[in-house]
Amino acid sequence: MDKNNIAKIFEVLKKDNPSPMTELKYKTKFQLLISVILSAQTTDKSVNAATAKLFKIAGTPKKIYALGEEKLKDFIRSIGLYNAKAKNVVQTCKILMAKFQNKVPSDRDTLQKLPGVGRKTANVVLNNAFGLPTIGVDTHVFRVSNRLGIAQGKNVLEVEKKLEKNVPEKFKLHAHHWLIILGRYTCIARRPLCGKCKVFEFCRYKKKIINDG
């Protein structure tokens, strides 16, 4: 897809939602980091339900570390992979206290050295916490980017690199939010709601469903 059509797609998405935000609930950069770690392979809604209780009791590295893995599990037991996530979160808190004065690092390489933090998580934190134009490619972004034709690839890194290259600079800050929203509520996995899609005319998806209202 040429850059003119890609720009038109983001113009439409921006007009529909000028200032998109993550649906994760948090008050600090640290709480965002923990929320994103917990959000792997689960929904933001389930993470928010857990962290609403957790952060009231323990919303800092010191307090979560003091809880320990077993007590942390009680708060996040409803979240998928909670055993591994509890271990990663506690270890991340330990590292933040020991090496970073309780602060969240602001560069991707350092973030990725924290337990439970992959490239997507680092990109989401950098974007939401530090206002950097990074693009976190989750399953929604991956699916929508391939279907629309704005960044087609066989893996998330390939899609991320193409998005970085293809998305106009003025749209990069919010690009992954717009794509997540589109994928979460319209361009859904099994049966996309093409009739409700605001960028339908630009989409290259060969299996578009026309009459879904």
For position 211, what pLDDT does the model report? 61
Alpha-carbon dihedral of residues 154, 126, 185, 194, nearest 10 degrees? -50
Residue pair 210/171 in contact (Cβ under 8 Å)? The answer is no
For position 213, what pLDDT does the model report? 47
Angstrom distance (rounded) from CA 39 to CA 47: 6
Give the residue numbers annotated as catalytic, written as ranges. Answer: 120, 138
pTM of the model as a whole? 0.92
Q: How many CB atoms lie within 10 A of CB 14?
A: 16
pLDDT single digits (tens) 72-126: 999 999 998 999 999 999 999 999 999 999 999 999 999 999 999 999 999 999 9
For position 37, what pLDDT does the model report? 97
Mean local confidence (pLDDT), 182-207? 94
